[in-house]
Amino acid sequence: MMAEATRQENIFRRRGRPTAGAAQARTDEMLRVAGELFEHNGFEGVSMGAVARAAQVSKTTLYARYPDKMALFRAISSYACRLPAGRIASVVTRGRDPRAVLEDFACAIVETTGRGEADRFLRLAIFEARRFPDVAAQILAESRAVIAPLEDYLARLVGEGIIAGHDPALLADQFVALLSGGPAGLLAPTPDAGHDGERLRRSLDLFFLGTGLVTARGGDALRASAMT
């Protein structure tokens, strides 16, 4: 298997240098495969050789990118955190009703955090957090960066008096927790699309109620905000 992987890589090299997009796709696939192995076997149950075989690359290639298993585990943590970033950052906020904007943020969060590889690896990272607190801290920091567009938008709404609250970071955390279901959401089986839609609707209703977006005063503020 390893000889075949090396042979395929040599053929690939002779055909020319891959594009940046192709190289990134290849790396992402390697991380996805490695993440599945860690998920099913735990950190101790996975070897670099097993990852190389499953990803159909040589151990030389794998070690060139990740010098040890811990470096690979860190890279998968970053990969899992990156998955929702583009979708969340693409939400348009200017000139729109805040309720519609927050609904778009909610859809982005549910769509991307519900992707199998991100959700499954997050469960594993939580399980290993006591052994690897630095990895847990890394995931928390990178997750915070991913939801920064949501936090910035909530800070704007708080500043304009459109929603109640004094801490946009806490509001963003509560928003995400409502949508993800918190610990119960991580422990529950993967829901179907209908369940996701119902959870999204109920979570938005609760968030809007708690922040005052459903009050008459809030409605007037929303119309004014949509014009800016």
Q: Supply the range of the domain harboring residue 59.
A: 2-67
**What pTM does this model have?**
0.72
For residue 131, the domain's CATH number is 1.10.357.10
Q: Are residues 136 and 183 in the same domain?
A: yes
Q: Are residues 59 and 86 in the same domain?
A: no
Q: Are residues 59 and 163 in the same domain?
A: no
Q: Are residues 21 and 132 in the same domain?
A: no
Q: Number of folded domains in the chain?
A: 2
Q: Kindly write down the DSSP assignment for every residue of 162-226, as one continuous string.
A: SS--S-HHHHHHHHHHHHHTHHHHHHSPPP-HHHHHHHHHHHHHHHHHHHTTTSHHHHHHHHHHH
Q: Are residues 42 and 121 in the same domain?
A: no
Q: Are residues 27 and 94 in the same domain?
A: no
pLDDT on residue 65? 93
The answer to whether residue 75 is domain-embedded is no
Q: Are residues 129 and 46 in the same domain?
A: no
pLDDT along the chain (228 residues), means of 10: 50 58 84 88 92 94 93 87 85 94 92 65 74 84 90 95 89 90 60 66 92 58 42
For residue 53, the domain's CATH number is 1.10.10.60
Q: Are residues 60 and 148 in the same domain?
A: no
pLDDT on residue 189? 56
Q: 88, 109 in Cβ contact below 8 A?
A: yes
The answer to whether residue 14 is domain-embedded is yes
